[in-house]
Structure 1
């Protein structure tokens, strides 16, 4: 799973780090989004994160219920808090207190006034981001927290539902959430900002991931189907999924364009975990998997890396508007972001992850 996490953050970074360079080519969005599709897959990377989170969290909850008869809600919240809170609040504090004046001091346009800082401290930042984006403002250093807020909202409610629902009702929970999300997306089909950032719009990603976890635990035939699947079928599944992801906006209406890619991500998760005939196992790439533990920090801190590199170039009086320099900044910022992520993990996050094990009933990777 760690390798898949790194793939997801790579998709996000390709857009944030290099889309500006692609835009200097002067292509229309329609042409750009087909020819240079890998550089517009930030939303896809976040969606992949959501499906992964839904799968992992639901799998852990259901495994704990099978082991102990129910889920310890308090311990669940403590584990999530120890994993998410420390770095999240550092990033929010930086973004609200230091980023705007620093940005202005070095001559960057678009000084940001936050609509409601408390929405960031209470993990409701995606709702503030909706307003900021619709107003044409916002700062990536704090906007980036929107997806973490959505996940925290999901965690808060999801575990309670499993605590109170009877096990025979679990199978109905997932389609109910998916349908609610679909109805919300249809209702807001013409509002791309709401479709992108609103909790009800994206919650289907996590529900689909959760549904796969439920099936994997409850239905042995599903795991056997992936285990025994012919390699040509697996390859066909990947080719079909990649075509869907590449052309999702051309093939489907706004409200539906998110659904099939998330089904593909669910396929990838199940195939990587249970297939015995995979063309490539992400877990076999140890270097890629080892980077997985840094993905949370890399996701939240790469805006800082980008800002740092842009400031350095400005201090050197170098024009950063050209294609070559934008590519160079993207590459350098990735290196800086990886260094920051390494330091964040070993100096901050790891200290809390050690405490997290005291509240664990099932071994978790994150």
Structure 2
């Protein structure tokens, strides 16, 4: 069996250069970065170098970067931290129906504490209209949170336009960029965001490390209270080891040229699937405003889990989830209005830096062999 990994939106492998940067910190520079002696000095220096590398990727300042345990914590800090810091001004939050659970769950939690949340609908491609954001704003709105790119279908949201709406009304704007960082440009001023989430394991860094960009002047109530780490925004002794990994990955991600090749492979995969399956396959998400590595398709009349079960050695994801013994349509596809008979056949192939054309062709050949009966169109 040849192992083919096409689930990079779920998690990426640690890049060799990232692992090499981290390796010395497994045994050296073990001191607490906050201590003021010889053992802490190299750890502190490594931490701040990594902070600068993250900031450079976002074109921000190093003191605007807060290290977290990952994307979920960063999203929670952005949303809950804003609510608790600004609830004296209002309690209204605007988000979308296709956000990651790490955004939707905090919003639902805050509703129990008095927050009012507007979950904006999206169109059939998964995009939200900036004017819909504008119409949802009230005098009590304190936060807008819209993901940069969707993890399931890859649709890229009009963040720049939404950012302009937020600035016009003086409302704080957060974007979950866990899926977009390292794949498309994520300069914070160009996007017009006040808060931006990074998840390390989505861009070839280890799991357990992430970051939240916090624009200067933006106040947040910490989720974790304690000593004054991260300029008082996130208590807890920082891990120089993990920060170095994220920093090295962000330095690697400043070069987006590899995405050109990945985009070509993505298009090659979609074109090959169209050629093989014709009307039996449907693209999920926006045909143009889409991550360069993501192909979400639905095999009409077949469950996505059945498709994956027939693939030997291929790691990919379905667009549905199994709960209590029954398969349910993905909430993202449901919000896009995808019919159940189509959405239940959803499969997401997410390519990475190590994906090659031979692997793409092998996957298409497997699909043709296992899914098309002899004599059917494209099955010869």
**Greater relative contact order, per chain length (Cα 8 Å cut-off, separation 6+):** 1
- Normalised by the size of structure 1, how large is the TM-score? 0.24
Larger Rg: 2
- Structure (1 or 2) with the greater helix fraction: 1
- Structure (1 or 2) with the greater strand fraction: 2
